[in-house]
Amino acid sequence: MILPTELLLGALAMAAAIVALTVRDLLAAVAVLAGYSFFMAVLYTHLGAVDVGFTEAVVGAGVSGVLFVAAVFRMTRRSED
């Protein structure tokens, strides 16, 4: 049986994924992806998979977020929008 908390976390994760795909600022997209990883980590933990939730939090929101931010700051723009 799906609880309302699980539906809310799933809806927040899907909303974050859609926003990350539609936003035009790369730094904002990285922040939203870190939020997506956080929502998924909380959902996994709520479902009882604590080890998967911990791994998602460390790798998804932590390490990947830092690497994406570093990559965004190292990029140069070719043209102005």
pLDDT at 61: 82
Compute the distance between CA of residue 60 and CA of residue 37 in angstroms, rounded to an integer: 5
Return the number of other C-beta atoms located less than 10 Å from residue 56's C-beta.
22
Contact assessment for residue 16 and residue 36, using Cβ atoms and an 8 Å cutoff: yes
48-62 per-position pLDDT tens digit: 999 999 999 999 888
The model's confidence at residue 10, banded by pLDDT at 50, 70 and 90, is very high
CA distance linking residue 63 with residue 3, whole number of Å? 30
Cα 58 to Cα 75: distance, rounded to the nearest angstrom: 25
Q: What is the mean pLDDT of the chain?
A: 89
**Other Cβ atoms closer than 10 A to 8:** 12
Share of the chain above pLDDT 70, in %: 94
